[in-house]
């Protein structure tokens, strides 16, 4: 505390001493004079400074004036430049607007041109596809479609695909020849004596062998049985009566089954017209037999009535067959198209049934409607669903593959599938009776089939099928969805690979259609189909067709007459 007081007292003393010295200087006037001198010096300095400031202000004003002038010039130049830039910008904006309008017009024109180009390309592609479709239709024939070979406008020569063996044509050494059959002699043998020089024992020696040759001639021999009986008149009623003739003879001249069978076979089996049939029989009999057109036409109805039992038996056999074939063919009747359903099996049974149309209506009433075995046919919706299983005709598929090869050259699956089908058909047709399927061959063919299907899937994913030609794509689609319908023949030994047997039967009907051009009524058409069914079944039984038909016509006790 004492230290603090001491410090304060010392500070106060120092301050007091300073104030005393200041008072002393002020009292003496020296300080005042010093201040005056300092004031004058300061005023002088201030004056100098004022002058300097005035000069500086004047210089500053001059500088500002010059800066303003320069700034105004710069501003004017800037304004002028800005105006020029604004004017240029306006001009550029106007140009840009014009260019935008022109660009919009050009874009619209380009868009319209692209649209027209795309439409032209689409139309061109459409026309190309349409052209390809028309070419496919124009080039459609029996080799690349289901059309029969008879519809081909130009029947080209069938190429011989057999491999050349280098052997001469004809019978080979060691092969027993097929000679003409010897006939029993109906006249005494004519002896031809040897020439005189052959009788010289020094030159010739008999071998003990007789050389025989026959001259065969043919003529129609007519056997006629004539019956006579006296006639009586009833004196009470006036009725004329006589004894009954054997065999129910009614007409003055009655033809037995041999004459009827000959006329029927010529007209329906050999497809000879009614007039030419009558002419042939008349000339062959040396004018003895002259059958009228009415008699020949009536044979269809009679033969149909007499063969109901045979057709019923064939119907039962076909309805219970393990494997059956079915197909449709077309003809003309009463000026319109008519249909025939053909059902058959591999045992020789066949039925031709006249129908109004194909499809489900055509199947109704046929044996295929009731059979629950394996159906072999072409790929028609009404036929695929028949039976418990279905085998598609591979020959039809081969033709569709050929059509794909011709009309879709950018694809390869059709060629692959065609090779598989050909090998499958060749393998099945080359099998001996009783031979079983080879598992290794079956497996290889199945793998090749699957590979072709997979190739088709990849190719159709990359290449959209044409709208005007879809045969190849439709075939691939069916095969990929139901491959077993095409490979059933490799599973069941009894199932053939194709429907050729029905195709051959259809040709028999087609030949008659070519001859008659058109049937006159549905009844005549149906009766012809009935008779053709029986004739083909008799042929398959290796029976003498003419003799068998003669027996059929002789069944009736009362012969059918035109009046009936």
Q: Give 331-346 pLDDT, tens digit per residue.
A: 888 888 899 999 999 8
Q: Are 490 and 421 in contact (CB under 8 A)?
A: no
Last residue of a domain, one of 111, 138, 165: 138
Mean pLDDT over 463-489 rounds to 86
Confidence label for 353 from pLDDT (cuts 50, 70 and 90):
very high
Per cent of the chain over pLDDT 90 is 18
Residue 389 has pLDDT above 80, yes or no: yes
Stronger pLDDT, 422 or 251, i.e. the higher one: 422
Confidence label for 469 from pLDDT (cuts 50, 70 and 90):
confident
Spatial distance between the Cα atoms of 40 and 215, rounded to a whole number of angstroms: 185
| 3 state SS of 63 | helix
Q: Which of 267, 335, 270, 324 has its CA nearest to residue 301?
A: 267
Last residue of a domain, one of 138, 171, 202: 138
Residue 31 has pLDDT above 70, yes or no: no
Task: Indicate whether 114 belongs to any domain.
Answer: yes
Mean pLDDT over 387-393 rounds to 90
Task: Indicate whether 4 belongs to any domain.
Answer: no
Per the structure, the count of domains in the chain is 2
Burial string for 269-287 (b: 16+ CB within 10 Å, else e) reads: beebebeebbebbeeebee
Number of residues assigned to the chain: 564
Stronger pLDDT, 292 or 562, i.e. the higher one: 292
Task: Indicate whether 176 belongs to any domain.
Answer: no
| 3 state SS of 435 | coil
Task: Indicate whether 303 belongs to any domain.
Answer: yes
Residue range of the domain that includes 74: 33-138
Dihedrals phi, psi of 356, to nearest 5 degrees: -80, -30
Task: Indicate whether 461 belongs to any domain.
Answer: yes
Dihedrals phi, psi of 446, to nearest 5 degrees: -65, -40
- Residue 137 has which token pair? 């239709």
Dihedrals phi, psi of 373, to nearest 5 degrees: -85, -150
Confidence label for 455 from pLDDT (cuts 50, 70 and 90):
very high
Residue 352 has pLDDT above 90, yes or no: yes
Task: Indicate whether 261 belongs to any domain.
Answer: no
Spatial distance between the Cα atoms of 424 and 401, rounded to a whole number of angstroms: 14
Stronger pLDDT, 143 or 186, i.e. the higher one: 186
Spatial neighbors of 246 by CB under 8 A, at least 6 apart, are 227
Which residues make beta-bridge pairs with 389?
374
| Virtual torsion, Cα 193, 197, 198, 201, nearest 10 deg | 130
Residue 562 has pLDDT above 60, yes or no: no
Residue 524 has pLDDT above 80, yes or no: yes
State the pLDDT at residue 305: 92
Spatial distance between the Cα atoms of 290 and 286, rounded to a whole number of angstroms: 10
Q: Which of 349, 287, 197, 247 has its CA nearest to residue 557?
A: 247
Spatial distance between the Cα atoms of 324 and 321, rounded to a whole number of angstroms: 6
State the pLDDT at residue 142: 63
Spatial neighbors of 393 by CB under 8 A, at least 6 apart, are 376, 377, 378, 379, 497, 498, 499, 500
Last residue of a domain, one of 84, 112, 138: 138
Confidence label for 244 from pLDDT (cuts 50, 70 and 90):
confident
State the pLDDT at residue 14: 82
Mean pLDDT over 520-525 rounds to 90
Q: Which of 351, 350, 404, 395 has its CA nearest to residue 377?
A: 395
Residue 414 has pLDDT above 70, yes or no: yes
Spatial distance between the Cα atoms of 23 and 345, rounded to a whole number of angstroms: 161
State the pLDDT at residue 197: 87
DSSP-derived pairing of the beta strands 323-333 and 350-355: unpaired
Confidence label for 38 from pLDDT (cuts 50, 70 and 90):
confident
| Virtual torsion, Cα 337, 338, 343, 346, nearest 10 deg | -50
Mean pLDDT over 400-413 rounds to 87
Confidence label for 558 from pLDDT (cuts 50, 70 and 90):
very low
State the pLDDT at residue 343: 93
Spatial distance between the Cα atoms of 134 and 200, rounded to a whole number of angstroms: 83
Task: Indicate whether 194 belongs to any domain.
Answer: no
Mean pLDDT over 508-534 rounds to 89
Spatial neighbors of 223 by CB under 8 A, at least 6 apart, are none
Task: Indicate whether 327 belongs to any domain.
Answer: yes
State the pLDDT at residue 76: 84
Query: How far, CA to CA in Å, does 232 sit from each of 242, 299, 538?
Result: 6, 34, 47
Confidence label for 375 from pLDDT (cuts 50, 70 and 90):
very high
């Amino acid at each position: 505390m004492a230290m603090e007081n001491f410090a304060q007292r010392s500070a106060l003393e120092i301050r007091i001493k300073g104030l005393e010295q200041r008072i002393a200087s002020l009292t003496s006037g020296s300080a005042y004079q010093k201040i005056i001198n300092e004031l004058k010096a300061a005023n002088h300095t201030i004056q100098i400074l004022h002058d300097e400031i005035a000069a500086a202000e004047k210089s500053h004003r001059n500088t500002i004036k010059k800066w303003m002038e320069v700034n105004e010039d710069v501003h004017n130049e800037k304004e002028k430049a800005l105006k020029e830039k604004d004017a240029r910008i306006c001009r550029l904006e106007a140009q840009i607007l014009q260019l935008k309008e022109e660009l919009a017009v050009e874009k619209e024109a380009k868009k319209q041109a692209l649209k027209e180009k795309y439409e032209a390309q689409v139309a061109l592609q459409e026309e190309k596809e349409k052209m390809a479709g028309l070419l496919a239709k124009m080039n459609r024939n029996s080799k690349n479609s289901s059309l029969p070979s008879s519809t081909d406008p130009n029947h080209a020569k069938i190429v011989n695909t057999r491999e050349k063996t280098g052997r001469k044509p004809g019978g080979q050494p060691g092969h027993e020849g097929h000679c003409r059959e010897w006939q029993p002699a109906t006249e005494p043998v004519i002896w031809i004596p040897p020439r005189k020089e052959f009788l010289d024992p020094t030159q010739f020696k008999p071998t003990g062998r007789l050389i025989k040759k026959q001259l065969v001639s043919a003529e129609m021999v007519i056997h006629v049985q004539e019956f006579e009986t006296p006639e009586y008149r009833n004196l009470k009623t006036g009725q004329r009566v006589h004894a009954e003739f054997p065999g129910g003879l009614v007409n003055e001249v009655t033809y037995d089954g041999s004459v009827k069978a000959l006329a029927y076979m010529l007209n329906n089996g050999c497809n000879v017209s009614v007039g030419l049939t009558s002419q042939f029989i008349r000339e062959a009999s040396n004018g003895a037999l002259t059958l009228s057109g009415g008699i020949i036409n009536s044979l269809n109805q009679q033969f149909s009535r007499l063969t109901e039992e045979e057709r019923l038996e064939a119907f039962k056999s076909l309805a219970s067959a393990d494997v059956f074939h079915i197909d449709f063919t077309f003809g003309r009747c009463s000026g319109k198209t008519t249909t025939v359903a053909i059902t058959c099996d591999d045992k020789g049974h066949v039925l031709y049934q006249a129908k109004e149309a194909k499809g489900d209506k055509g199947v109704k009433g046929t044996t295929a409607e009731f059979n629950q075995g394996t159906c072999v046919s072409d790929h028609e919706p009404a036929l695929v669903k028949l039976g418990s299983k279905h085998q598609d005709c591979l020959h039809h598929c081969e033709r569709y593959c050929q059509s794909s090869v011709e009309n879709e050259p950018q694809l390869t699956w059709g060629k692959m599938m065609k090779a598989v089908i050909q090998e499958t058909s060749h393998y099945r047709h080359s099998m001996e009776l009783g031979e079983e399927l080879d598992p290794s061959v079956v497996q290889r063919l199945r793998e090749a089939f699957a590979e072709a299907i997979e190739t088709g899937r990849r190719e159709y994913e990359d290449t959209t099928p044409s709208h005007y030609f879809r045969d190849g794509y439709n075939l691939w689609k069916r095969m990929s969805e139901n491959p077993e319908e095409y490979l059933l023949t490799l599973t069941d030994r009894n199932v053939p690979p194709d429907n050729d047997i029905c195709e051959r039967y259809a040709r028999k009907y087609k030949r008659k259609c070519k001859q008659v051009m058109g049937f006159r009524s549905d009844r005549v058409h149906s009766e012809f189909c009935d008779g053709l069914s029986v004739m083909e079944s008799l042929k398959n039984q290796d029976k003498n067709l003419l003799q068998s038909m003669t027996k059929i016509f002789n069944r009736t006790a009362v012969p059918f007459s035109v009046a009936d």
